[in-house]
Amino acid sequence: MSTNLKAGTQAPDFTLKNDQGQDVTLSELLKTHRVVLYFYPKDNTPGCTIEAKTFRDSYEDFAATGAQVVGVSADSAENHCGFRKKYGLPFILLTDPGWNVAKQYGIAKTWGFMPGRETFIIDKDGTVLHTFRSQFNAKAHVNEALEVVAEKGEVDDDPKVW
């Protein structure tokens, strides 16, 4: 569970750059999709790669429920671009270089130095539906998020692949 942002609270809006250098704003995404927002430490590290590939492998299941997956780390847009291409990731990756948005979401560092790993499910009205934290069980983020969005039951007849 997040230290600050809990289910039932309003998710802070933000604008960050994607891997193509374009601005992506949470409130704009929420106009059409529920958002599965996951913060992770670093591209191309073992745990983060497992997490990203597991989100990739379940992406169509998320899209079928009307949910858009969005990953956030402090990596550069260039790193994100290579990471997406290398692993065929169909979802948005955003760069939070000063970890400022992560701080707004209450993401704590593990051992005081490693960026945290936490997932938020945000409804279209901006309400946090669920949070999940596990620094070392990356696959659990995907499984728990999919369980929550599937439980909500909204089906998207036109899922978008980013």
Which pLDDT tens digit goes with each residue over 115-144?
788 999 999 999 999 888 776 566 665 666
Per-residue pLDDT at 96 exceeds 80: yes
Q: What is the CA radius of gyration of the chain?
A: 14
HEC assignment per residue over 90-112: CCEEEECCCCHHHHHCCCCCECC
Give the predicted TM-score (pTM) of the model: 0.85
Residue with more model confidence, 31 or 156: 31
- Using CB atoms within 10 Å of the CB of residue 155, give its burial: 0 to 12 exposed, 13 to 18 middle, 19+ buried: exposed
Contact 117, 98 (CB under 8 A): no
CA-closest candidate to residue 35, choices 117, 96, 118, 121: 121
Catalytic residue among 5, 16, 37, 48: 48
The per-residue pLDDT of the chain, averaged, comes to: 85
| Whether residue 48 lies in the annotated active site | yes
CA-closest candidate to residue 64, choices 151, 162, 150: 150
